[in-house]
Amino acid sequence: MEDLSIVKIGGNIIEDSDALDQFLTLFAQLPGHKVLVHGGGKKATQLLPQLGIEPKMVNGRRITDAATLEVVTMVYGGLVNKNVVAQLQAKGINAIGLSGADANTIQAQKRSVTEIDYGFAGDVKGVDGETIGKLIHIGLTPVFCALTHNKKGQLLNTNADTITAEVAIGLSNHFNTTIYYCFELDGVLEDINRKDSVIKHINTTTYDTLVAKGIIVDGMLPKMHNCFHALKNGVKQVKIGNLGMFQTANTNYTTLVL
C-alpha cells in the first residue's frame, strides 16, 4: 500500500499568519499523499461576542447551541477552510475543502446528554475511506474542517483531533497511514515548564506511567486517547510536535507506537 500522511494543525498556528504560511509550505513539501485537518475554535470564540453570542465552555469543551453552531459552521467550513485551501493552491497543492457532510465522508451522531448537554456536538460513527481515497487517487488533497453530519440534515461540531484519528483509521485499509499532530510545542513534555523536555517515544506502557505520574494531564489526555485509539485500529504511527517535525534532519518530536 502507498503511504499517506494525515496532519492536524493546531489553533495557535491557524491564528498566526506567518506560522500558518510556514506550516502550509512544509505541508506542501511533504512527499506522497496527504490529508489536512483543522479546527478554528479560537477564531470562533473571538467572533461569537461580536455577534452577541456568549461563548460557553465546560472543562475546556465548547457547548454548541444552535446559534454557536451557525458561527462555527461559518468559521470552520468557510473562513478558515477556504483560506487554507486557497493558500495551498498558491503553493501548488490541488486541495479540496471538505466537511464530513461533503460526499458523506464522515458520519456522526449528536453526543448523548449525561451530566452535561454539549448541544450540537458530534461523536464520529463512521468514515467513508473509499470515497476519500478516490479523491486522493485523482490528485486532490482533502482539507477537512471540524464539522460532521448525522445523515438527517444536521451538521455537528466535532473535535478536530478525533476527526484526524477517525479519518486515519478509515483510510488505513487503503494506505499506510501516519498521523502528525502539529501544534506550538516540540512534542509531549516531561516538564511543562521546560520546553526542551520532549519525550521522544511513548508506547502504551510508558503512557500509563506518565498518566499515573501526572505528567500527561488536562487537554493532552483526550489527544493521547485519540492517538492510541488510532494505533490500535490500523494506523502505523503517530507523531506529535511543532513545524520542525516535518524537516528531515529534525528528530525533536514525540513518536507514539503500541
Which range has the top average pLDDT, 21-25, 59-63, 216-220?
21-25
State the Cα–Cα distance between residues 210 and 12, nearest whole angstrom: 25
Digit-coded pLDDT (tens) for 62-99: 899 999 999 999 999 999 999 999 999 999 999 999 99
* pLDDT of 237 strictly over 90: yes
Q: Which residues are annotated as a binding site?
A: 40-41, 62, 157
pLDDT confidence tier of residue 11, bands split at 50, 70 and 90: confident
Digit-coded pLDDT (tens) for 85-136: 999 999 999 999 999 999 999 999 999 998 899 999 999 999 999 999 999 9
The model carries a pTM of: 0.95
Instruction: Give me the DSSP letters along the chain.
Output: --EEEEEEE-HHHHH-HHHHHHHHHHHHHS-SEEEEEE--HHHHHHHHHHTT----EETTEE-B-HHHHHHHIIIIIIIIHHHHHHHHHHTT--EEEE-TTGGG-EEEEEPPPSSS--BSBEEEEEE-HHHHHHHHHTT-EEEE-SEEE-SSS-EEE--HHHHHHHHHHHHTTTSEEEEEEE-SSSS-BSSTT-TT-B--EE-HHHHHHHHHTTSS-TTHHHHHHHHHHHHTTT--EEEEE-GGGGSTT---SEEE--
* pLDDT of 176 strictly over 80: yes
* pLDDT of 6 strictly over 80: yes
The pLDDT score that the predictor gives to residue 231 is: 97
State the Cα–Cα distance between residues 70 and 120, nearest whole angstrom: 10
* pLDDT of 248 strictly over 90: no
* pLDDT of 221 strictly over 90: no
pLDDT confidence tier of residue 243, bands split at 50, 70 and 90: confident
Digit-coded pLDDT (tens) for 40-50: 988 999 999 99
CATH 3.40.1160.10 fits 3-184, yes or no: yes
Quote the percentage of the chain above a pLDDT of 90: 82
Q: Which residues are annotated as a binding site for substrate?
A: 40-41, 62, 157
